[in-house]
Structure 1
Amino acid sequence: MSSRWIRPEVYPLFAATGVAVGICAMQLVRNITSNPEVRVLKENRAAGILDNFEEGEKYKEHGLRKFVRKRNPEIMPSINKFFSDPN
């Protein structure tokens, strides 16, 4: 019965959908837990608008952004070098 509904051809679709849902869930958890503009608890919401620039900078400059900043914005660097170098 399950072979009728779940075929091997749809496994990549399940994988891609699972990865997309995982990325969305990760971003949601990150925003709820560490975004300085999101306040879930009532006590924190009563504080109003805070000018806490250090916390905002810490949220903005996360580890992935620091890692990518040192890299060239290339998808395939070896192919780019092959076609652009005059050798």
Structure 2
Amino acid sequence: MAESKLRQLLHNLDTELQKTPGLDEKQRQQIASIRQEVAAVLAEMGSPAQSKDRIGEAVGLFETSHPQLTLILEQVIDTLAGMGL
């Protein structure tokens, strides 16, 4: 259940990134890195604790300028936590 939710959140993140104006290249790279880490967690190859920390850092950077991205990232963190990761 949580795995399918994470997959859906990754899809939502990709969709939101496509329609979010004003992201600079560094911000896009940071989101891409986070997306890869979450995908690695799904593939049981990544470090979940490190991924949650990096996602948390991104939330702080995007919370005022891109609230929809922030919401999706917070949902990813909650889902990882719900999985016990």
TM-score, normalised to structure 2, is 0.29
Structure having greater relative contact order (Cα 8 Å, sep ≥ 6): 2
TM-score, normalised to structure 1, is 0.29
